Amino acid sequence: MKCFLVDANIATSPYPVYPLGMSMVANALIKAGNKVFQFDFLQNNSSYEKLLFSIKKEAPEIIGISMRNIDNVNSMNEKIYIDVVKSIVSQIKSVSNAMIVLGGTAFSILPEKLLEEIGADFGIVGEGESLMVDLTSQIKAGKIPPNKILKAKSDLRGNQIQKAYYDKEILNYYLNNGSIANVQTKRGCIHKCVYCSYPYLEGNVFRHRDIKETIDDIEFLVKECKAKMIFFTDSVFNDNQGNYIELLEEMVKQKVSVPWTAYIKPEKISKSAINLMIKTGVRGVEIGSDGASDETLAGLGKSFRFKDIIECNKNFTDNKIATANFFMFGCPRETKKTVEKGISNIINLNKTVSFIFLGIRILPNTKLHDIAIKQEIIKKDNDLLEPVYYIAPGLDKDWMQTTLDENFKPYRHCVFPPDALENSVKFLHKLGHTGLMWDLLIPGKDRLRPKRRKKS
């Protein structure tokens, strides 16, 4: 069957992200005997003309559209992406009678409302690999499923989790805009952060990929595609079971070393684990701190406190590994006193760059959603298609915005609002710089600097 996959993401902050999910679905479809064409909307300058030309040329029988984001979850500079997908579907229908299927993280968060709003034929919630293959088989056999929304069980693990079928032409666009290629080592999350949809979307256990296949992906990206840095996209890289240690040990064994970065949970990480990270090429880590005080960390459902953030940050910076921390203000249990304490904590966090958000995007099927209803911040029937941000009762957003701006403005390493550097990063990429970019803001002479890419 001829399948046409579209990645509809147009978000570029902090840098464009290769459509990994689409590539995994593509691989599953190809292995099942289908012919697959991948089209990246961002890579094609968001051109409807190019999209329609490709669809008419390929004449697919089924078209899958991947939605990565509903919006940019930034209360200071809101951007909504649903209308783009709606326009894509409308344009496709003007030239093709193919079945249109929605999927991806964003769709899985609000499936019923998005399917109705966008007007596609079907939608897949959760892991799309198996269900997309099943759907193509049914359509080919003339058996149209009665249910418009198909839900995955989120039970794939090991080599059942597909390798990505990296499209070199699409990947080259992303490498030329930062040289960071993404690899997934596992799915799911065991943690209980009140705002997070990962456990709902991918399950509340870690499901690890086959380590050999993960390393094969890394080597392909580096050797065949000339990627300068790898980003491990897992919700948390340093899992409690130690699978990340096994991956790093195997990389050392196979002499695989490449600059990489990942999301890290702030906890004590052993010296041996740090050494493995260094041997395999770690350049920097993004620490999921989130709360800036012990009170708000507890309110967010975190299992760590601010002293753990300090210790984790120090473990990396003492080994000359760059760190970025991410914080949200307005969390449950936030007060004026914790705002002031949090500002002080962030400013005094050593040798790191911190990105600061105001408010938390409320998503369905999260504990924060229940909290917001109970506190009468939202009504139970609010479908949350339009962004609503949680700010703890009793706090004024304007006061918080002014307070955060005034206190963080003198400090180059405290970035508020969080997208303040977006244009600067794009400019550096155009000059040929590659890598993290945020590490340039880290105080001190020992900070890492990305190497400038040689022009061919």
As averages over each run of 10 residues, the pLDDT of the chain (456 residues) reads 96 84 96 97 96 98 96 89 96 97 95 96 92 93 92 84 93 88 94 90 90 96 94 95 96 96 95 97 96 98 97 96 96 98 97 95 96 97 95 97 96 89 62 70 57 42
Based on its alpha-carbon atoms, the radius of gyration of the chain, rounded to whole angstroms, reads 22
Q: What is the CATH number of domain 1-149?
A: 3.40.50.280
The structure tokens listed for 7 are 């990645």
Task: State the DSSP string of 299-364.
Answer: HTT-S--HHHHHHHHHHHHTTT-EEEEEEEES-TT--HHHHHHHHHHHHTSTT-EEEEEESEE--T
The pairing of strands 186-187 and 207-208 is antiparallel
What pLDDT is recorded for position 153? 82
What pLDDT is recorded for position 265? 97
The pairing of strands 389-390 and 360-361 is antiparallel
pTM across the whole model: 0.91
What pLDDT is recorded for position 353? 93
What pLDDT is recorded for position 447? 41
Please, where are the H alpha helices in 6-161?
20-31, 48-58, 82-93, 105-109, 111-118, 128-140
> In this structure, which topology does domain 179-438 adopt according to CATH?
TIM Barrel (3.20.20)
What pLDDT is recorded for position 429? 57
Dist. CA 73–CA 209, nearest whole Å: 29
Give CATH 3.40.50.280 domain extents, the chain: 1-149
What pLDDT is recorded for position 72? 87
Dist. CA 201–CA 187, nearest whole Å: 10
Query: Between the CA of residue 389 and those of 65, 96, 366, 394, what are the distances in Å?
Result: 27, 38, 13, 14
What pLDDT is recorded for position 110? 95
Spatial strand order of the sheet with 35-40 comes to 35-40, 2-7, 62-66, 99-103, 122-125, 149-151
Q: Which of 70, 96, 98 is nearest to 8 (CA)?
A: 70
What pLDDT is recorded for position 177? 83
Q: Which of 216, 199, 293, 284 is nearest to 250 (CA)?
A: 216
